[in-house]
């Protein structure tokens, strides 16, 4: 009887003490980018890298569609951060250039090569919008999710291949870390408290990707010499691809042109 008692007390203590895995949320805030700033995959320690570069410009022809207005009146803490009514930046078009196009190496990287990212990517919730909206991450890389708004955001990943997650951050300053274990282009992220918030992350087994900036430019660096299929993905305008061969130390250009929907 005594033993059963002690066992029960120990069980209770063990359950209380053991918690679950304790991964702290003290991720470094490096590599963050806001808006449509060109982002390149970082690091690459592990798998083969080189010093070739594929860069280019994403052009846009036709009329740029108007981005829809966002009614943020219910979230004064966010609405107050804007001087003019916010819009949902689905199309980032300036002077015939298209930003927020995710450009990546689809094939050509040796199979089984394992890359790790040098630094974690950060996605920030600010003004009830995701910054960046489009970005890439290496398989297994920490994605740090930060809340700069003093309101509840939840960040829900809705992947098809990977396991999803749905986590909340009720107040400003909170950070969380997540990773994806399998390549998937693109994994949608959304907030259910603010239904207009969308972001997309391209998960790749290597760091050879970039997002075009407002000026349409992108640059994929540190490629080993080889022949690669390069794809460019836009959330509304679909995917285009091209093939590029680079030698060691070479820089090659790969431009893409997307056209706006028929007026």
Partner 1 sequence: MATTATGTTPFTYDHGHEHVDDRSFIRKYIFSTDHKIIGIQFLIMSLTFLLLGGMLAMVMRWQLGFPGKPLPGGTLLPDTYTSGGVVLPEFYNSAVTMHGTFMVFFAIMPLLVGVFGNYLIPLKIGAPDMAFPRINMASFWTAVPAGLLMLAGFFVEGGSAAAGWTSYAPLSARSDLTGVHLGQIFWCVSLIVLGLSSIMGSFNYITTVINLRAPGMNWFRLPLSIWALFVTACLVLLAIPVLSGAAILLLFDQTIGTHFFDPQAGGQPLLWQHLFWFFGHPEVYILILPGMGMVSDIIANGARKPVFGYTSMVLAIIAIGFLGWGVWGHHMFQSGMNPTLGTTFMISTLLIAVPSAIKTFNWLGTIWKGQITFHVPMLHALAFVSMFVIGGLSGVFMAASPFDIYIHDTYFIVAHLHYVLFGGSLFAIFAAVTYWYPKMFGRMMNPTVGKVHFWLTLVFYNCTFFPMHQLGLHGHMRRIYDPTQYAFLKDLQPVNTFISISAFLLFATQFIFAANFIMSWFKGEKAPNNPWLDNGLEWTLPSPPPHGNFATVPTVYRGPYEYSSPHSDQDYIPQNVPTPGGGYGAPHTQPAGD
Partner 2 sequence: MGNFLSWMLPPGASTFVGDIDWIYYLILVVTGVAFFAVEIALVVFLVKYRKRPGGKATYVHGSTRAEIIWTSVTAVVVVVIGLLSAPAWDKIKGREGVPPNAMPIGIAAKQFEWNITYPGADGKLGTTDDFTVRGQLHVPVDKPTVATLTSVDAIHSFFVPSFRIKQDAVPGMHIRVWFQPTKVGEYELGCAELCGLGHYRMRAIVTVHTQEDYDRWVAQQAHAVAQR
Q: Strand ranges (DSSP E) for 86-225? A: 92-94, 97-99, 102-107, 121-126, 129-131, 134-138, 143-147, 153-157, 165-169, 175-178, 184-190, 198-204, 209-211, 217-223
Tell me which residues in 103-162 interact with partner 1 (CB under 8 A): 152, 154, 156, 158
Q: Is 73 in the site for partner 1 (CB under 8 A)?
A: no
Quick one: which segment of 17-25, 118-126, 130-138, 232-240 binds partner 1 (CB under 8 A)? 17-25
- Give the residue, chosen from 23, 61, 166, 245, that forms a contact with partner 2 under the rule CB under 8 A: 166
How many angstroms separate the Cα of 178 from the Cα of each of 25, 108, 124, 141, 183? 10, 27, 14, 8, 14
Quick one: which segment of 38-46, 65-73, 121-129, 227-235 binds partner 2 (CB under 8 A)? 65-73
Beta pairing partners, 217: 57
Report what 74 binds from partner 2, partner 1, none; CB cut-off 5-8 Å by kind.
partner 2
Quick one: which segment of 8-16, 18-26, 64-72, 108-116 binds partner 2 (CB under 8 A)? 64-72
Q: Is 69 in the site for partner 2 (CB under 8 A)?
A: yes
Instruction: Give the residue among 136, 72, 71 at the shortest CA–CA distance from 102.
Output: 136
Helix (H) or strand (E) holding 79: helix 76-79
Q: Is 152 in the site for partner 2 (CB under 8 A)?
A: yes
Report what 13 binds from partner 1, partner 2, none; CB cut-off 5-8 Å by kind.
none
Omega of the bond leading into 132 within 30 degrees of 0 (cis): yes
Q: Is 175 in the site for partner 1 (CB under 8 A)?
A: yes
Dihedral pair phi/psi, residue 7, rounded to 5°: -60, -40
Closer Cβ to partner 1, 15 or 263, answer by number? 15
Closer Cβ to partner 2, 39 or 169, answer by number? 169
| Strands 209-211 vs 102-107: parallel, antiparallel or unpaired | antiparallel
Chain residues in the site for partner 2 (CB under 8 A): 68-69, 71, 73-74, 152, 154, 166, 168, 192-193, 195
């Amino acid at each position: 009887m005594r033993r059963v008692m002690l066992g029960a007390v120990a069980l209770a203590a063990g359950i209380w003490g053991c918690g679950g895995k304790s991964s702290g949320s003290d991720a470094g805030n490096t590599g963050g980018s806001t808006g449509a700033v060109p982002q390149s995959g970082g690091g690459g320690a592990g798998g083969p890298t080189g010093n070739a570069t594929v860069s280019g410009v994403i052009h846009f022809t036709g009329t740029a569609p108007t981005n829809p207005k966002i009614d943020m009146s219910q979230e004064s803490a966010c609405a107050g951060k804007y001087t003019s009514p916010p819009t949902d930046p689905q199309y980032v078009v300036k002077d015939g250039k298209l930003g927020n196009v995710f450009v990546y190496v689809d094939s050509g990287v040796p199979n089984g090569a394992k890359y790790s990212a040098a630094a974690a990517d950060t996605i920030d919730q600010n003004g009830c919008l995701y910054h960046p909206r489009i970005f890439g991450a290496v398989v297994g890389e920490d994605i740090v999710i930060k809340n700069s708004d003093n309101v509840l955001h939840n960040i829900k990943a809705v992947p098809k291949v990977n396991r999803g997650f749905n986590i909340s951050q009720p107040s400003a300053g909170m950070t969380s870390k997540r990773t994806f274990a399998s390549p998937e282009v693109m994994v949608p992220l959304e907030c259910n408290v603010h239904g207009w918030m969308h972001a997309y992350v391209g998960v790749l087994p290597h760091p050879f990707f970039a997002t075009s900036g407002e000026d349409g430019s992108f640059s994929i660096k540190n490629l080993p010499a080889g022949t690669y299929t390069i794809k460019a993905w836009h959330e509304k305008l679909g995917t285009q691809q091209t093939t590029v061969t680079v030698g060691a130390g070479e820089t090659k250009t790969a431009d893409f042109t997307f056209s706006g929907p028929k007026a």
